[in-house]
Amino acid sequence: MITERSESDPGPRRSPPRTLVLANQKGGVGKTTTAINLGTALAAIGEKVLILDLDPQGNASTGLGLDRKNRPVSTYHVLTGEASLEQAITETVVPRLFVAPSTLDLLGVELEISGERDRVHRLKKAIAVLMTSEVSDPFTYILIDCPPSLNLLTINALTAADAVLVPLQCEFFALEGLSQLLKTVEQVRSALNPDLTIHGVVLTMFDPRNNLSGQVVADVRQFMGSKVYDTMIPRNVRVSEAPSHGKPVLLYDLKCAGSQAYLRLASEIIQRERALRAA
């Protein structure tokens, strides 16, 4: 699946956004929840954010209030070349937060484009074209929500991204899954995207009453060091309830522990971005 590096993107990239891919081959780690609520938090502090839904389940789109019947242009059409990314983008209930939705059609996209030479660069090219369009208020962040597997969709995302944000559930096999993802990131860096970095690891579903959670936190911090964000996302019932109402938890219950954690995470990410630019 991973092939040689392609030629440069078509056209110059004007005011490029920071593109972060949320990836973990394990399901149920809070990846989509983090994409939705981190995007909302970034938008709340003044950023213009696009969530790019690459998961065929389309939960990021649903969690932002977009009805499954109201997605005439999706990331499937973008990857197959039937539509531009700009055509797929739609507004959400959150000001300054937009989404390129997903549909179940994405399940078949791998077979449809597997024979194409640029199959792993489709998303990168689509983002490059979006950046060359005439916009007075460009996106400052693109968050890509991936499926819980290391397939062609995830490779497209990693090839297009500046950095990887890894949501990691505080559970027994957390480090095992992280090791596999890091190997894939290194492969992509070697063959497709030499500038790809690990932005950070966010620990999710943390329960301070659970001794195992505390041990996982210690192990992950020892293994990844400063790459682990200080902010941890707690296990919180309001975070779990919000998607069923088609809202990010920051709109559903701003004062709950989950909402406050995502606001802190957004602030921490902005601080890391400033440090990277200053370096």
Tens-binned pLDDT, residue by residue, of the chain (279 aa): 454 444 444 444 445 899 999 998 888 888 999 999 999 999 999 999 999 999 999 999 999 998 888 888 999 999 999 999 999 999 999 999 999 999 999 999 988 998 888 999 999 999 999 988 756 789 999 999 999 888 999 999 999 999 999 999 888 777 777 888 899 999 999 999 999 999 999 999 888 888 888 888 999 999 999 999 999 999 999 999 998 899 999 999 999 999 999 999 999 999 998 888 887
CA 140 vs. chain centroid, Å, equals 14
Position 134 scores a pLDDT of 56
CA separation for the pair 17, 188 (Å, rounded): 20
| pTM for the structure as a whole | 0.91
DSSP 3-state assignment of 178? helix
The residues near 52 (Cβ < 8 Å, ≥ 6 apart) are: 75, 85, 99, 100, 123, 142, 143, 144, 145, 157
146 and 31 Cβ atoms separated by less than 8 Å? yes
Position 270 scores a pLDDT of 93
DSSP 3-state assignment of 271? helix
Pairing of β 163-169 and β 197-206: parallel
The two structure tokens encoding residue 74: 């999706």
Position 13 scores a pLDDT of 41
DSSP 6-70: -PPPSS--SSPPEEEEE--SSSSSSHHHHHHHHHHHHHHTT--EEEEE--TT-HHHHHTT--TTS
Position 8 scores a pLDDT of 47
Of 189, 200, 112, nearest in space to 158 by CA: 189
Position 1 scores a pLDDT of 47
Place of tokens 């056209």: 11
